[in-house]
Amino acid sequence: LETNLDIKDEYDNQEIHVHNARIHNLKNVSVSILKNSIILITGVSGSGKSSLAFDTIFTESQKQFMDLVLSNQMLNNTFSDVYVDKITGLQPSIAIEQRNLGVNPRSTVGSVTKIADVFKLLFATIGKRVCPWCHQVVDDSNVCKDCGAILFDRTPQVFSYNHPDYMCPLCKGLGVEMRIDEEKIVEHPEKSLLDGASSLYGDLRKHRKKPNANWMRGEILALADDMNVDLELPFYRLPKEFKQQFFYGSNGREVSLAYENSKGRSGVIRRPVEGAINLIQRLAHDTKATRSTDQVHQFMSKKTCSCCQGERLLEEGRLVNIQGYRYPEVVSLSIDKLRKWCHRIYEQLIKEQQDKTRMIFIKLNQRLKKIQSVGLGYITLNRSVPSLSGGEAQRLKLATQFGTGLSNILYIMDEPSKGLHPKDYRFLMDAIVDLKKYGNTVILVEHKKSFLTIADMHLHMGPKAGRYGGELVFVHHRKEIENQLISQDCSDDFDTIKVIDSVSLDNNKAIKDTYIQLKGVTTNNLKNIDVAIPIGMMTAVIGVSGSGKSTLISKTLYPYIMSSLGRTVEEKGTFQKVIGIESFEDVCYVNQKAIGSNSRSNPGTYTGVFDLIRQCYADTQQAKKKNLSKEYFSFNSKKGQCPECSGLGEVAVNMHYMDNLYVPCNKCHGKRYSKEVLKITRKDCSIGDILDIEIHDLLEVFQEEKEIVRQLSMLNKVGLGYLKLGQSASTLSGGEAQRIKLAKELNKNECKNILYILDEPTTGLHEEDVEKVIDVLKELKEKGATIIIIEHNLKMIKKCDYIVELGPGGVQGGHILQAGFQKREGDFI
């Protein structure tokens, strides 16, 4: 007899069934997903796409897998009981999230693709060793015949710059060292030292008028007197010998130094000149001076390591060669060249060596080909991963994580199109279709309509965000998708973007005060380009991935403006000059970097609005009566927080081999504060409730508080009304973090004379949300701001006044394809 308690045979070859998912805002979502197909999930941000794809399906798959592997019941607090009734038919899953490949400067294209390991093996197998002392070739034994030196064993590690025994001892395998940079000491060689050519010494004219006990400045004046040098001259015109001593000191020769102490007493002493570089070095070693580190860093820049010439290895490893090619040389060839190199070298080997290395060469060829197939043939293996552009990193991920040859895997991807121009989608779509061909299932959380062309299923979440979302609005299969494709224009067509006329920089006088002008830019792949960007306008910088957009804006213009505002920058671009930036009082750079990995930071604390809210609670009669100051209303302060969870509202349960699972604190029930603090309420809400209410609903609670409403409205305007003020910053997506930064900046009242630079502000946004961000930016512009956006979203680009298009991608790229005001329909020209 079959009862309701008997479980039916639930194995299903065809579909994955999700029953009643309810994590976050999901409202008991049930859906059947076709296996061996491509599933597109869309919806406004905050509608629940990631909650379904990652937090439900992926997490449950991980859990079922762990249950299988860990036979004992370690996982008694089971996820599925709480957040979903059951999921059947699951496949092992791999999540491909937006998280970057890494910011570790040690990771290179060669190391993340593992291709470097194969080359190391090749060099260890057939490489010729050369003695670093007498430079003679050493045969198979470890002793150099000519000088008797004992060499390392021939192992792949010899080529590893991460290995303490084989890395360059000076740069520790990084290839660069921080060195004091003359150019940073004299940042404005076109000015005189008296007028502040050097940021180290500042304005010496003032000092000359009124000498004080500042030896450092006095020394330079004394040196000039001693050498009879006219300090009114611009720095670059000063005699070479003076410049030498200015930087490196007078080598013991004494000069006469006039001084006046704070009591007004003056005198002259004789002493040698220390010199700028020695001075900075002394500060750097003076560990007692707290100010030193920052100040010293300001005058240093990264330079190629002087010991290994940037090759990162000990000389012994650097000298091993195959037919005259050394390992560091080989990893600095482009992938395209490298593949040809492999073919050529293999052909030239003798039979015995060919036999030894055939498998190695086959592997190399396969992997290099894979990288070429995603269009990255121009990249080198020694390129550091953090220096790749977003789109390049994305494609590298495709080439490495996708090409495993596994089948029956469920791949779940978070906005794989991020950072890519529609022209780059081809690589991505091909790779995804390949995955399906090999028998895998692919779930894509994506906003780009183009992806409908490869989708077998389309799930749309909504209808809105947060608690107004969390439902499946529709599920389309291939037939309905095809109808949709016919009825709508689903191409993200960039060819329609045209400019009226390219502005000629040379023949146009009017351009002088109204444009930022960059001349002769050659940073990275840029081909000596001249660019003008109108002040007070909204400019879109567009182009395929790797064309040089970030190089131009984030790595050239931004650091230049920062340094001209007197702030420190790590790297600067290379260019002839930049003009027209005098009017900017500030520059604000908004990118997608997380706003804090700290679980104590959240949208409320980050924007500062929670500060106002705490004050508001402290100002209530109840709080005053109990002497509860503002500090009590901070969950980070010991005074008011729940002692059990230290104000986090949740406690971690150790899940051993997985990430910790968080469950609500059983003392405060997730409210974060002590009982006493929670008793203070406004409109029936305690401060703990406030952190758990979505932003759009808070507007009502604080109706009468003008400033709080203003700040909350801004978060609402950029499409984040669905967030809770207390949601931990570490759980926010890149796009959300970016819009929080944007809202924070926009809340500053003054935006005239400020340059805003935004790196793909539409990431993670659905069409509707894009409109909201556009409105906010327009408002900014009306208030007098200048806005530059690096962007791939057609809708956003169309709203910009001015376009700078770069292309093509890679080393051949870095040209300006077009630049000028955007041509609108109906324009006469």
Please enumerate in sequence order all residues whose Cβ is within 8 A of that of 68, keeping only pairs 6 or more positions apart, or say none. Answer: none
Region near ligand ADP per CB under 6 A, out of 58-66, 209-217, 387-395, 709-717: 387-395
Q: Which entry of ligand ADP, Zn ion, none binds 575, CB below 5 to 8 A by partner kind?
A: none
How far is it between the farthest Cα atoms of the chain? 111
Tokens representing 141?
Answer: 């034994």
The answer to whether 551 touches 575, Cβ cutoff 8 Å, is no
Supply the minimum distance, in Å, between the C-beta of residue 487 and ligand ADP.
25
The 10 Å Cβ neighbour count of residue 518 is: 27
Q: Beta strands 754-759 and 786-790: pairing type? A: parallel
- Determine if 79 is a binding residue for ligand ADP (CB under 6 A): no
Q: Which entry of Zn ion, ligand ADP, none binds 466, CB below 5 to 8 A by partner kind?
A: ligand ADP
Q: Which entry of ligand ADP, Zn ion, none binds 762, CB below 5 to 8 A by partner kind?
A: none
The answer to whether 523 touches 574, Cβ cutoff 8 Å, is yes
Q: Which entry of Zn ion, ligand ADP, none binds 644, CB below 5 to 8 A by partner kind?
A: Zn ion
Four-residue CA torsion sign, 757, 759, 763, 767: positive
Whole-angstrom CA distances from 601 to 309, 503, 617, 647, 689 are 42, 46, 20, 12, 17
- Which of 33/280 has CB closer to ligand ADP? 33
Write out the binding residues for Zn ion, residues 276-305 only, by CB under 5 A. Answer: 305
The answer to whether 422 touches 365, Cβ cutoff 8 Å, is no
The answer to whether 83 touches 22, Cβ cutoff 8 Å, is yes
Supply the minimum distance, in Å, between the C-beta of residue 562 and ligand ADP.
18
CA–CA separation, 184 vs 204, rounded Å? 17
| 3-state secondary structure string across 34-90 | ECCCEEEEECCCCCCHHHHHHHHHHHHHHHHHHHHHCCCCCCCCCHHHHHEEEEECC
CA–CA separation, 467 vs 535, rounded Å? 41
Please enumerate in sequence order all residues whose Cβ is within 8 A of that of 86, keeping only pairs 6 or more positions apart, or say none. Answer: 17, 19, 80
Radius of gyration (C-alpha) of the chain in whole angstroms: 31
Write out the binding residues for ligand ADP, residues 513-552 only, by CB under 6 A. Answer: 524-525, 543, 545-551
The answer to whether 573 touches 555, Cβ cutoff 8 Å, is yes
Question: Which residue of 36, 37, 47, 98 would you call a contact of ligand ADP, by CB under 6 A?
Answer: 47
Supply the minimum distance, in Å, between the C-beta of residue 377 and ligand ADP.
11
Q: Sketch the per residue contact string, 139 through 178, with Zn ion: x for CB under 5 A, - otherwise.
A: -----------------------------x-xx-------
Four-residue CA torsion sign, 271, 277, 280, 284: negative
Of all residues in this chain, which one has the CB nearest to ligand ADP in the complex? 389
Supply the minimum distance, in Å, between the C-beta of residue 314 and Zn ion.
9
- Determine if 389 is a binding residue for ligand ADP (CB under 6 A): yes
Q: Which entry of ligand ADP, Zn ion, none binds 385, CB below 5 to 8 A by partner kind?
A: none
Q: Which entry of ligand ADP, Zn ion, none binds 545, CB below 5 to 8 A by partner kind?
A: ligand ADP
Q: Which entry of Zn ion, ligand ADP, none binds 668, CB below 5 to 8 A by partner kind?
A: Zn ion
Assess whether the previous peptide bond of 169 is cis (omega < 30° from 0).
Answer: no
Supply the minimum distance, in Å, between the C-beta of residue 641 and Zn ion.
8
- Which of 250/727 has CB closer to ligand ADP? 727
- Determine if 308 is a binding residue for Zn ion (CB under 5 A): yes
The string of DSSP letters for 382-424 reads TSBGGGS-HHHHHHHHHHHHSTT---S-EEEEE-TTTT--GGG
Region near ligand ADP per CB under 6 A, out of 43-51, 135-143, 273-281, 398-406: 43-51
Write out the binding residues for ligand ADP, residues 800-829 only, by CB under 6 A. Answer: 810-811
Supply the minimum distance, in Å, between the C-beta of residue 305 and Zn ion.
3
- Determine if 198 is a binding residue for ligand ADP (CB under 6 A): no
Q: Which entry of Zn ion, ligand ADP, none binds 387, CB below 5 to 8 A by partner kind?
A: ligand ADP
The answer to whether 590 touches 760, Cβ cutoff 8 Å, is no
The 10 Å Cβ neighbour count of residue 670 is: 18
Write out the binding residues for ligand ADP, residues 725-754 only, by CB under 6 A. Answer: 727, 731
Tokens representing 196?
Answer: 């502040």
CA–CA separation, 675 vs 26, rounded Å? 31
- Which of 547/786 has CB closer to ligand ADP? 547
Q: Which entry of Zn ion, ligand ADP, none binds 46, CB below 5 to 8 A by partner kind?
A: ligand ADP
Q: Which entry of ligand ADP, Zn ion, none binds 642, CB below 5 to 8 A by partner kind?
A: Zn ion
Four-residue CA torsion sign, 683, 684, 687, 693: negative
- Which of 149/817 has CB closer to ligand ADP? 817
- How far is C-alpha 401 from the geometric centre of its chain's CA atoms? 20
- Which of 50/111 has CB closer to ligand ADP? 50
Tokens representing 443?
Answer: 């779930």
- Determine if 313 is a binding residue for Zn ion (CB under 5 A): no
- Which of 169/463 has CB closer to Zn ion? 169
Region near Zn ion per CB under 5 A, out of 12-20, 285-293, 659-667, 713-721: 659-667
- Determine if 722 is a binding residue for ligand ADP (CB under 6 A): yes
- Which of 196/808 has CB closer to ligand ADP? 808
Question: Which residue of 275, 466, 647, 719 would you call a contact of ligand ADP, by CB under 6 A?
Answer: 466
Please enumerate in sequence order all residues whose Cβ is within 8 A of that of 443, keeping only pairs 6 or more positions apart, or say none. Answer: 33, 39, 41, 53, 57, 410, 411, 412, 413
- Which of 211/735 has CB closer to ligand ADP? 735
- Determine if 799 is a binding residue for ligand ADP (CB under 6 A): no
Determine the size of the site formed for ligand ADP (CB under 6 A): 33
Q: Which entry of Zn ion, ligand ADP, none binds 51, CB below 5 to 8 A by partner kind?
A: ligand ADP
- Total count of residues recorded for the chain: 829
- Which of 316/736 has CB closer to ligand ADP? 736
Q: Which residues bind ligand ADP (CB under 6 A)?
A: 24-25, 43, 45-51, 387, 389, 391-392, 461, 465-466, 524-525, 543, 545-551, 722-723, 727, 731, 810-811
The binding site for Zn ion (CB under 5 A) comprises 168, 170-171, 305, 307-308, 642, 644-645, 665, 667-668
